[in-house]
Amino acid sequence: MLRPIIKIIFLVSAAFEVTRERIEDELDSWTARAGEARSSSTDRLHETRDKFKQILSEATQNVWQRSEVLENQVREKIRRQVADFSLGALGDSTEINELRAEIATLRAEISELKQKQPA
């Protein structure tokens, strides 16, 4: 249940980024071509429609790819955090075991001292 929701979040985030980039690119392109004259309104309509289809196709592919990249980045970040936590826990357990060994040694020494004392 959580994976589809996360996937949707990545898709929305990627769609926003790709759309923003595409709008900026198209505005730059249209500004550069503002001085150019078109031969006829029919040709212009067909060109615009074809261009729109191409942009939509590219944007869809970019959104999907960006979503995958974002998902992989988050997954890797989570893996690193889990690994760091696991290593930290391992270090803590090692320290605990060392302390237990030292306590056992001290108990043995105390026991020896008690045995050596005259009653």
Q: Summarize pLDDT for 41-84 with one digit per residue, the tens.
A: 667 778 888 888 898 888 889 888 988 888 889 889 888 888 87
pTM above 0.85, yes or no: no
DSSP 37: P
Percent of the chain residues topping a pLDDT of 90: 6
The residues near 68 (Cβ < 8 Å, ≥ 6 apart) are 10
Percent of the chain residues topping a pLDDT of 70: 87
Q: How confident is the model at residue 95 (pLDDT cuts 50, 70, 90)?
A: confident
Residue 19 tokens, joined: 């759309």
Phi, psi of 33 (to 5 degrees): -95, 5
User: Is the pLDDT confidence value at 34 over 70?
Assistant: no
Q: How confident is the model at residue 36 (pLDDT cuts 50, 70, 90)?
A: low
User: Is the pLDDT confidence value at 35 over 60?
Assistant: no
